[in-house]
Chain A
Amino acid sequence: MKCKVCRRPAAIEIRRHHAVFCREHFFDHMMRQVERTIHDLEMMQPGERLLLGVSGGKDSLALWDILTDLGYQVDGVYIELGIGGEHGYSSSSLQLAEQFAKNRDLNLRVVDLAEEYGYTVPEAAAETRRVACSVCGLSKRYVLNRVAFDGGYDVLVMGHNLDDEAAMLMSNTLTWNVEYIGRQRPVLPATGKGLVRKVKPLLRIAERETAAYCVLKGIDYEVEECPMVGGNTGIRIKQWLNVLEDQRPGTKQQFLFGFLDRVSDQFATVHQEQVDLQECPNCGQPTTSDQCAFCRLQIRMTERD
């Protein structure tokens, strides 16, 4: 197969675009897709301070690399979740994130959940008897926003890709969770005091492409799966969507962008009508209840035997 741009030997095929690219033109394609997403959705403005949530995985490292090549100055934040013990998953992911930042002279802030908030994700999952992904997601959302807000950043940049967003939409649609569907936006504005705008520039990029980008660029990323992810619904839904994608390339993109372009505004209205934010008396972050879910978790972890 030959690159559709220069006819040199191809490095990757992207079936939903009916496209085959050599290494260099694949990099160009990725940059253009991200640039277009940022521009069309007005994700960030010149002069704004940007903070990227970095996990050490393919998506966040590919995005950091692309944004840097596009000329954005982006700092990173890594949350040490305490998964896998001293030499386990979290510490190897951290090493990869640190190595990436060091090689490119980028700023990476590390927040240790145990040191700063008094618990690890495995401990919180055991104590609350909730699935690990639930307490992990709650902790990451809170801490990332908190670090961005306290650090004076204007935008929190996230590495969610096309597959993540399509799977999330499918999951929420199967249960008709209209509140969550209403919240699913590629740009979440800072709607309350203490919140930072959240954006997802990889919206047009499938996760196979971020992985390929890292391999072709020589970026070492965390290939191993999180050991606590077993039974995660999101992965199952991604597998179902990939069966459809294999039979009809473009299905995931049509599903997600059809929603975003044609119907998401209707769900956003539903969401806004239901939301009545107030300040958490403990931390001051916006919440829909008397005390925010993160503080409830943290207090429970602090008071455990």
Chain B
Amino acid sequence: MKVVLRNPRRELDIEGDASVKDVLRRLDIIPETVLVIREGELLLKTDRVADSDTIELRPVISGGSR
């Protein structure tokens, strides 16, 4: 599967299919810090991602002065 990361934008390839939870664990990303998006739809941690899918891991942490 193709995994698109942001800030800075980059892409990773992960072989095979996996659950969202496993993808995040493999990349050492805390689920609370991202949205996982496939074709404009949000995925839940139990959803499966196929080898042919592209998913975006979109960070949700905003920083700077508030």
Contacts A160-B66, A164-B66, A215-B35 given; does A10 touch B44 at CB 8 Å: yes
State whether A246 touches B32 (Cβ < 8 A): yes
User: CB-CB contacts of B49-66 with A at 8 A, as 1s and 0s?
Assistant: 000000000111111111
User: Which of A34-42, A222-230, A294-302 lines the interface with chain B?
Assistant: A222-230
Cβ–Cβ < 8 Å partners of B58 in chain A: 211, 215, 223
Give the 8 A-B residue pairs with the shortest CB-CB distance, closest first: A137-B65, A235-B63, A211-B60, A133-B65, A136-B65, A229-B64, A225-B7, A232-B63
CB of B23 closer than 8 Å to a CB of A: no
**Interface size grouping (class) on chain A:** 35 or more
A positions within 8 Å CB-CB of B: 1, 10-13, 15, 20, 57-59, 132-134, 136-137, 140, 158, 160, 163-164, 168, 206-208, 210-212, 215-216, 223-226, 228-229, 232, 234-235, 238-239, 242-243, 245-246
Residue in contact with B62 in the complex, picked from A57, A168, A215, CB distance below 8 Å: A57
Mostly helix, strand, loop or mixed at chain A's interface? helix
State whether A229 touches B63 (Cβ < 8 A): yes
Contacts A208-B35, A211-B35, A242-B33 given; does A226 touch B42 at CB 8 Å: no
Residue in contact with B63 in the complex, picked from A215, A223, A234, CB distance below 8 Å: A234
